[in-house]
Amino acid sequence: MAGTVKKNFDSPEETRNVDKGAVEILNLGDAQVMRATFQPGWKWSECVKPVAGTDSCEVAHLVYVNSGRMGLRMDDGSEVEIGPGDVASIPPGHDAWIIGDEPFIGIDFQGASSYAKP
């Protein structure tokens, strides 16, 4: 049986900086968890697309929103807004942006392995 693993975002094992934001990664054995912090004005298609090199975000996310609001537009044109307390499963093929003047902080339990990487 595997032992308990405890880590803290105060000491992330990896930080990936993007324009107007950063993601911090914790490795928990077979799982990675990512804390995403995006400032007002952040938009995936402007701030991460140059790093990822894809037309839209091709990473799936399972995110819990701590604070701030984010708009999401899927490649099919459908849109949703997420905010504090929301849990969202976001499939690949989307753009995202920060709504309002509060930073967005979310914990992603799925997308850390490839987010904001070429």
Q: Where are the domains positioned within the chain?
A: 16-108
Beta bridge partners of 29: none
Residue 29: its pLDDT value, please? Answer: 86
Q: Tokens 């990822």, residue?
A: 52
CA distance 110 to 104: 18
Would you say the C-alpha torsion 53, 12, 7, 71 has a positive or negative sign?
negative
Does the domain made of 16-108 have the CATH classification 2.60.120.10?
yes
CA distance 96 to 87: 15
* b/e 59-94 (16+ beta carbons within 10 angstroms → b): bbbebebeebbbebbeeeeeeeebeeeeebebeebb
Residue 30: its pLDDT value, please? Answer: 86
One pLDDT digit (tens) per residue for the chain, 118 residues = 568 999 999 999 999 999 999 999 999 988 999 999 999 999 999 999 999 999 999 999 999 999 999 999 999 999 999 999 999 999 999 999 999 999 999 999 998 989 998 8
